[in-house]
Amino acid sequence: MATILFLHGWRSVPGGVKPTYLKEHGHTVINPALDDDDFEAAVRTAQEAFDKYQPQVVVGSSRGGAVAMNINVGSAKLVLLCPAWKKWGAAQTVQSNTVILHSRADDVIPFEHSEELARRSGATLIEVGNDHRLADPEPLVAMLKACEQ
């Protein structure tokens, strides 16, 4: 089982549906509280957690996806859920082993942003779910699978 750093979205909290789902499937989940107002502080918190726990996988949801893209993850795998990379941070690309999960019906972050990121990076984009939260059974299974591959 993997150690997973889960970076929650803006105005979200640790211990939500997605990190809980990963824990229920046997993974060790590190789920720090990220500053909602100060992006750089959120990045520092995430980097400190990454450096301390050395996870194999970093999952970033929405703004947490942008945070994940702006920390040094070495060879760890990124799994990005509707990443808000155009809104926050400076990173414009990800490693090619990154998996992006996004719903075409997302009304918060345009699906096209993930298409562009995947195209720029050679990352895998999986269209899944029917909203921004990706907290239904189908996207949860897809997230788990992406973390375990």
pLDDT by position in tens, the chain (length 149):
999 999 999 988 889 999 999 999 999 999 999 999 999 999 999 999 999 999 999 999 999 999 999 999 999 999 999 999 999 999 999 999 999 999 999 999 999 999 999 999 999 999 999 999 999 999 999 999 999 99
Distance between CA atoms of 107 and 37, rounded to whole angstroms? 22
Q: Determine the pLDDT at residue 141.
A: 98
What are the DSSP calls for 78-96, one per residue? EEEES--TTTSSS-----T
Q: Which of 134, 141, 70, 79 is nearest to 108 (CA)?
A: 134
Domains by residue range for the chain, with CATH: 3-148 (3.40.50.1820)
What sign does the dihedral 3-97-79-121 (CA atoms) show?
positive
Q: Determine the pLDDT at residue 6.
A: 98
Q: Determine the pLDDT at residue 13.
A: 81
Q: ∠ CA(4), CA(41), CA(108), 5° rounding?
A: 70
Q: Determine the pLDDT at residue 93.
A: 97
Q: Could you tell me the pTM of the whole model?
A: 0.97
Q: Determine the pLDDT at residue 106.
A: 98
Q: Determine the pLDDT at residue 148.
A: 97
Contacts of 48 (CB under 8 A, 6+ apart): none
Q: Determine the pLDDT at residue 14.
A: 87
